[in-house]
Amino acid sequence: MLDEENEQQIPLNSLLYYQKPVLGLSSGQTRQIDPLQVVFPSGGFGLAVPVTSPVQMDADVTRYNSAAVASGPENTEMDVKERRGIAFTFVGLSLVNLIITCYLFVNADIADTSKVSPEPDDTVFPFVFQLVPHNRRPIEKVNFGFTILILIIGIFSAVFEQPLGLSVFAISTVLNFLLGTIALPYFAYATRYIFDVWMLYLALVFRSKLVFNFLPFTLSHIHRA
């Protein structure tokens, strides 16, 4: 097994191994044990295999009380196709969301035909059945501008596979949903949130495939040689 002191002598790619859990094996069955790549709190890397029998750990081993399995992004043909599929779906939804959002905002005064009461004069918050004014409030224009900016950030982040941009898109989408409700021009405008939720899910899935993922566990389940 690899030690922290020897980690610099071995290419990082040679450490990218993982072990899939196998269910339903009886006690008499055996299977091949694949090594795990682990990352220690100090930042060092190592290889580990599950402990199948009690082992005696020396002082150098027991000084680590925790570790984590590391899984990085892969560039195999299957992984590349999967990422491209997610990016294509994300960009397609973004364009649809962009078109629908612009249409609902520009045509706010005619988009909802259920409004029949006269337009409010100086009321900041119109009643349920009051006609939507033709002119948009300043807060509505600001919210609309930020919504378009968030969509553009998401499109470019997906095209160029930028995890930081996807993180910004995800956080901004959630904040826009929580803080932008007061800036909705009318209730039907909120239907665009359906696309936001779908895109938020795709952004988080896409980001998970572009960054290192870690699964922490206790060192008592592995041994190092």
Q: What angle do CA 19, 23, 24 make, to 5 degrees?
A: 145
The confidence score (pLDDT) of residue 224 equals 43
Q: Which two tokens stand for residue 192?
A: 């665009």
Residue with tokens 């680590």: 64
pLDDT (tens digit, 9 = 90+) per residue, 115-170? 656 666 555 556 666 777 778 889 999 999 999 999 999 999 999 999 999 999 99
Q: What does the alpha-carbon distance between residue 30 and residue 43 come to, in Å, rounded to a whole number?
A: 33
* Dihedral class, residue 102 (left if φ above 0, else alpha if ψ from -120 to 50, else beta): alpha
CA 130 to chain centre: 39
Residues 91, 83: Cα–Cα separation, whole Å:
12
206 within 8 A of 126, measured Cβ to Cβ = no
Give the model confidence (pLDDT) of 112-125 as tens digits: 666 656 666 555 55
For 190, the token pair is 């909120």
For residue 48, CA distances in Å to 14, 30, 61, 191, 219 come to 13, 18, 12, 50, 10
Chain centre to alpha carbon of residue 7: 30
The string of pLDDT tens digits covering residues 17-54 is: 344 555 555 455 555 556 666 766 666 777 666 555 44
Quick one: DSSP state of residue 37? Answer: E
Are 31 and 21 within 8 A, CB to CB?
A: no
Between the alpha carbon of residue 198 and those of residues 72, 79, 94, 134, 154, the distances in Å are 25, 21, 10, 30, 13
User: Residue 205 — pLDDT band, cuts 50, 70, 90?
Assistant: very high
| Cα 66–chain centre separation | 26
| Amino acid sitting at position 225 | A
pLDDT of residue 50: 56
CA distance 133 to 225: 74
Residue 171 token pair: 């956080």
Amino acid letter at 72? G
Residue with the larger pLDDT of the pair 160 and 225? 160
Tens digit of each residue's pLDDT (9 = 90 or more) over 55-108:
444 444 444 456 666 777 888 899 999 999 999 999 999 999 999 999 999 988
Query: What are the helix (H) ranges across the chain?
Result: 59-62, 77-106, 108-111, 138-159, 163-179, 193-208
